[in-house]
Amino acid sequence: MGHYLPHTDAQREAMLDALGLTDTQELFADIPGSVLLDHPVNLAPGLSQMEALAAMKALAAGNKSYRLTLRGAGCYDHFIPSVVTRVAAKEEFVTAYTPYQAEMSQGILQSIFEFQSLMCELTQMDVSNASVYDGASAATEAAVMCRERKRRVALVSATVHPDTIATLRTYCYGTGDEVRVIPAQDGLTDRAALEGMLTEDAACLIVQQPNFYGLLEDVCGLFARAKEAGVKGVLSVNPMTLALLPGGKEVGADIVCGDAQPFGLPMAFGGPSLGFMTTTNALMRKLPGRIVGQTTDPAGRRAFVLTLQAREQHIRREKSSSNICTNQALCALTAGVYLTCLGERGIRAVAENCLSKAHYLAKALCEIKGVALRYPGEFFHEFVTVLPVDARKIQDVLEEKGVLSGLPLEDGTMLWCVTEKALRSDLDQVAAWVKEVCEA
């Protein structure tokens, strides 16, 4: 253990003396004594490997396991082919950290380059970064990219995920910028309200596709109007939908961002996740994180390098555009393997399955007395229903059956989600159980 203690007692004394302190505890003088640990921790004796495994199994037994998940709201239960987890679990990838030395990191650099290439192809944008924490941070970092000296206001639709709006508010609080929320009308962004908010201080318009309620927004019309006012368009998208819907440039977006969790990453208690960002060449130098580029080595062989790094560790702190201090390289690799494994036709098949099965369940539920769609618009694989009973009652009944229900919302409605993993017989059974509860 001595190898991991770099400072001697004499060196620590010298540092304290330079700070004008006599004891290390004085460094914590501003922390209330009531929360400081002033006695040794009473740790249990160590366990053998066999005992530790038994203890872990006992802890895992306390988890609730669902045979069917009908809840999304930003985190989705898709089928993950075995090859995806097998490749991503290889020691070379799991133990690799940040690729500072290109000559030693060609494998991880290539995996990031491939991820960037796939995301550009999927979103139909020019350039992608090496990822950020999650979809919320990606949308917020996109807003930062759009700021100009006289344009410091971020416009965000009320139909964007609440967590994204909360994260945006946190960022803007720290920088002194403003967030203005565009009201919703029938579950969609209110175009009339937007008209009065496209002022000269607005920097960007953030719209989610599909939105939090699962509805498809008129992003083409919204971004076209924003462009007329000199406001940049940020499309926060569920990337699975891009197998069926138009890409970023086609709808007029300057930045396409979102969470790539649907691409091979399990729900896993909500993380880790994978925020992706793609943009046009005009905004490339404002992208946070890293961009891996392709080049040739002195022998003329294909090679990869860190082409652009905008974080504060690599450039002058006051010039940095982001303080995100790592990327989601292993998650990005996992997404890259997933996309490569399924290919263009496979991704489209998954998206079509999600679309058709969600509409099948919606139709089955709406045949129940008192159940109806809350919003009339087109949707992908999430939709909201009004219910004749308390939504939590349905949640409890389905939980007893081993099914994680849709998400109960504050207004008493329920946000359902269906992925390709749901069988038709499963959906018929869920509809039957919901009918029993509603008509009891």
CB 123 within 8 A of CB 138: no
CB 26 within 8 A of CB 33: no
> How far out from the chain centre does Cα 277 lie?
11
As given in the structure block, the two tokens for residue 30 are 């501003």
More confident call, 96 vs 132 = 132
CA angle 141, 242, 307 (to 5 degrees): 45
CA angle 356, 380, 88 (to 5 degrees): 90
Dihedral over Cα of 8, 12, 18, 20: its sign:
negative
How high is the pLDDT of residue 315? 59
Distance of CA 317 to CAs 80, 275, 314, Å? 40, 23, 8
> Domains of the chain: which residue ranges?
68-78+344-438, 82-339
- Which residues, at least 6 apart from 383, have a Cβ–Cβ distance to it below 8 Å? 213, 214, 358, 362, 373, 374, 375, 415, 416
How high is the pLDDT of residue 69? 97
pLDDT in tens, 115-161: 999 999 999 999 999 889 999 999 999 999 999 989 999 999 999 99
How high is the pLDDT of residue 311? 54
pLDDT in tens, 411-425: 999 999 999 999 999
Q: Which CATH fold topology does 68-78+344-438 show? A: Aspartate Aminotransferase, domain 1 (3.90.1150)
- Which residues, at least 6 apart from 363, have a Cβ–Cβ distance to it below 8 Å? none
Using the predicted structure, report yes or no on whether residue 215 has a pLDDT greater than 80: yes
Q: At what angle do helices 391-400 and 424-438 cross, to 10 degrees?
A: 130
pLDDT in tens, 167-192: 999 999 988 899 999 999 999 999 99
Mean pLDDT of 349-367: 98
SS in 3 state form for 95-162? Answer: CCCCCCCHHHCHHHHHHHHHHHHHHHHHHCCCEECCCECCHHHHHHHHHHHHCECCECEEEEECCCCH
Choice among 18-22, 170-174, 311-315, 359-363 with the minimum mean pLDDT: 311-315
Using the predicted structure, report yes or no on whether residue 3 has a pLDDT greater than 60: no
More confident call, 314 vs 384 = 384
Neighbours of 247 (CB within 10 A): 18
Using the predicted structure, report yes or no on whether residue 312 has a pLDDT greater than 60: no
Percent of the chain with pLDDT strictly greater than 90 = 78
C-alpha to C-alpha distance for 439 and 132, rounded to whole angstroms: 47
How high is the pLDDT of residue 2? 47
C-alpha to C-alpha distance for 263 and 141, rounded to whole angstroms: 21
C-alpha to C-alpha distance for 25 and 219, rounded to whole angstroms: 56
How high is the pLDDT of residue 100? 73
Q: Which of 407, 334, 422, 427 is nearest to 75 (CA)?
A: 407
Residue type, 14: A
**Class level of CATH domain 82-339:** alpha beta
pLDDT in tens, 237-296: 999 999 999 999 999 999 999 999 999 999 988 888 999 999 999 999 899 878 899 999
Average pLDDT, the chain: 92
